Amino acid sequence: MRAVLVGVVVGIVLVVAGLSVRTPAVPTYAPTPPAAADAGRRLVGPVLYTVDATAADTWRYFSFRLGSVIETPRAGEWDLAFKRYSIIAGDGVGILDLGEARLDDVRAVPTTGYVVNEGRAEPRNAAIASWYRYGFFSHVLSPKPHVWAVRTADGRYAKLEMVGYYCPGGRPGCPTFRYVYQGDGTTVVGGPEMAPPSSEHPGKAVVPLDNRAG
């Protein structure tokens, strides 16, 4: 009996070990070069954007109005900040988790219910903090199929979905998202007149993942 139990335990250990070392393939995205351009009152998107958030001690700031990461943002100029897998909102900005949905199916967003950050020293936004699923054996972060609404720093509205987290070569820290920004102040963020989203991204690839998520 003891030999049987030992054999079962060894078998379980071997299975777990095999699953742990299996190298998954993940989509990877090259960071989008910063190129700020004021959207004005236009409806912009869908746009696929990748942030270089590989530095563990540096926030990278993104503005929907400017459609770009901002290297030296002023107060009230940015909407979201990224650091590795962490995402927070800017001052006066709120985020709302709309649950499981396709980005293209969300035609309008609410005007209430937006969540602001918690804490100052280590800010966290509960609406989007858990945007990913973590693979216990693969150690891979996979985006949840949710859509988030954002009430921006300029009082406008946007919607986004997370589509990836990995940089070229499988390195973690390149959060990638699709978004639509409505510059006219209304909550309409979609409609039949919008162009279909591009299926390609100049920096996208699929590679075996060698790095652990982090």
Is 122 among the domain residues?
Answer: yes
The position carrying tokens 């390195």 is 171
In contact, 109 and 94? CB cutoff 8 Å:
no
Name the residue range of residue 146's domain: 25-208
* Counted domains in the chain: 1
Is 16 among the domain residues?
Answer: no
Is 115 among the domain residues?
Answer: yes
Tens digits of residue pLDDT in 156-178:
999 999 999 999 999 999 999 99
> 12-21, 61-70, 128-137 — which is least confidently predicted?
12-21
Q: Which pLDDT band holds residue 209 (cuts at 50, 70, 90)? A: very low
Secondary structure letter of residue 200 according to DSSP: -
Does the pLDDT at position 194 exceed 90?
no
Is 15 among the domain residues?
Answer: no
Is 1 among the domain residues?
Answer: no
Is 107 among the domain residues?
Answer: yes
DSSP assignment of 95-141 equals EEEEEE--GGG--B--SS--B--B-SSS-B-TTTTT-EEE-TTT--E
How high is the pLDDT of residue 120? 83
Distance CA 162, CA 148 (A): 9
How high is the pLDDT of residue 171? 93
Higher pLDDT, 103 or 207: 103
Distance CA 195, CA 187 (A): 18
> What type of residue is 25?
A
How high is the pLDDT of residue 15? 39
